[in-house]
Structure 1
């Protein structure tokens, strides 16, 4: 025999009748605010012959090596965790141009860097957690990496 209260609760859940918890709604609004309209999203790729990297590969020194590719750009990121903070050293190739900027983003902090002549950039002292990198090139759509979670 089915308990009537249990059955009614199951129907409410299936129908979406239970209210969404407030923290879920707040988190959804925060994530929506991080989007970059009309941007291209670079996806992680498998190990490449040119460098020892793949999505989530960990080096001997605790660094994470990740490669993302989209819209003719390749992002090679080396993420190191030390003293509870994240350092990112990266390269965008081919060189995106003298006026290109890179944003290294967490949900609560964005550090903007100029790209060197070799396509290199770095950001230090970021909090652990979610991370994304965006390349802004004049005359092109922004290219952003997928969000990756970096844990200490």
Structure 2
């Protein structure tokens, strides 16, 4: 069940990246990011209103301020994604995002005392090797294409 949800999340993230980058091309980077977060706010507000959970913020002052930095990170990630997606092929953007998430999760796991097996490290190295192979193949294919040989 969780594998299916993870798979569907990956699909939705890629669709969201394409939609946001297309919107950023049309109306600008900052405006697209603002619309993204405004719509998220509206949907969360509607969800909370339907569940009659609008006033459940009695202990919000007890939360350390650093925990709210996740929102700032999401804004930065959305800005970077909206900027980079039109400039990179989607497969590179997806692979690098995926690789960054894996490496960061392994680092954070090790900081918080969880040990990860050597098989995960080997899996990451295979993924990274595959990425390097794809990049090298694309570079060589463009460099030695027929158009460049004819010129």
TM-score (normalizing by structure 1)? 0.24
Which is bigger in relative contact order (C-alpha 8 A, separation at least 6)? 2
What's the TM-score, normalizing by structure 2? 0.24
Q: Which has the higher helix share?
A: 2
Bigger strand fraction = 1
